[in-house]
Amino acid sequence: MRIPLIAGNWKMNTTVSEAVTLVNELRPGLDTIQNVDKVICPPFVSLAKVKELLQKSTTRLGAQNLYFEEKGAYTGEVSSLMLAELCEFVIIGHSERRQYFNETDPIINKKVKAALKAGLKPILCVGEKLTENEAGRTESIVTGQLELALAGVDNIDGLTAAYEPIWAIGTGKAASGKQANDVIALIRWVIGRLYGEKTAQATRILYGGSVTATNTAEFLNQPEIDGALVGGASLKADQFLSIVRQTAEIRDLFTR
């Protein structure tokens, strides 16, 4: 049985003091919820402070990106070694990185390798554009992204995958539970083909794209969906808490 995971991707939101306020709002409620892995991913500049605030908390910390070299003359970049002291998870290959920062599949592949080597747990994002979706290319795009991101990676223990259709991100137009479940089933199948059935069954795969407290149940009631990667709604404490709480309740029913 895979433990569900809800991750909040704060993107480029919150100053350090705003991050402190949000963590203080979230922490008491999140700590009462069990059987769900809760991860928040604030901006780099807040990681050290948030790490302090989460001492003795069951809420875990992630970063939103890394650079694939461990150190050196790469002005402005942050490496896996730096992050490994601060957090446990790292989002890799988010569509906003692909779109605005020209991250290609080979770059994402290097980032996945760097993260795993440093003992970080990657949350690897894949997903198709609207035009690709409309052209019926979702399966081939997602499969290709996955294969290239994982090329030469022998062991994906600790890796979480996230299906984030680009047309659903920040648009208020989430995929349907069934649509997301079908693509996530495909992702699991591809992982099975690459790493074997045992790994496929053990790997968590999330849905992301306009997840809110209102549609959480639609996704978490699907058998293949192991949680959510939440953007906008993760910046509102009541919304994020409700998403995590509903996830715990739904999984409780599943296991009973």
Residues that are catalytic: 94, 164
Closest CB to ligand 13P among residues 7, 54: 7
Residues that bind ligand 13P (CB under 6 A): 9, 94, 164, 169-170, 208-211, 229-233
Least distance to ligand 13P, CB of residue 121, Å: 16
From residue 114, give the alpha-carbon distance in Å to each of 10, 22, 72, 162, 183. 22, 30, 14, 18, 27
Least distance to ligand 13P, CB of residue 203, Å: 18
Nearest Cα to Cα of residue 35 among 4, 6, 59: 4
Closest CB to ligand 13P among residues 181, 195: 181
Axis-axis angle for helices 105-117, 138-149 (nearest 10): 50
Which residues contact residue 242 at a Cβ distance below 8 angstroms, ignoring those fewer than 6 apart? 213, 216
Least distance to ligand 13P, CB of residue 243, Å: 10
Closest CB to ligand 13P among residues 195, 240: 240
Q: Which residue has the tokens 């779109």?
A: 99
Closest CB to ligand 13P among residues 72, 172: 172
Q: Which two tokens stand for residue 198?
A: 């045992």
Closest CB to ligand 13P among residues 142, 230: 230
Least distance to ligand 13P, CB of residue 142, Å: 15
What Rg, from alpha-carbon coordinates, does the chain have?
17
Contact 70, 79 (CB under 8 A): yes
Least distance to ligand 13P, CB of residue 12, Å: 12
Nearest Cα to Cα of residue 91 among 144, 56, 30, 39: 39
Within 13 Å, how many C-alpha atoms sit on residue 126's CB side? 26
Contact 93, 103 (CB under 8 A): yes
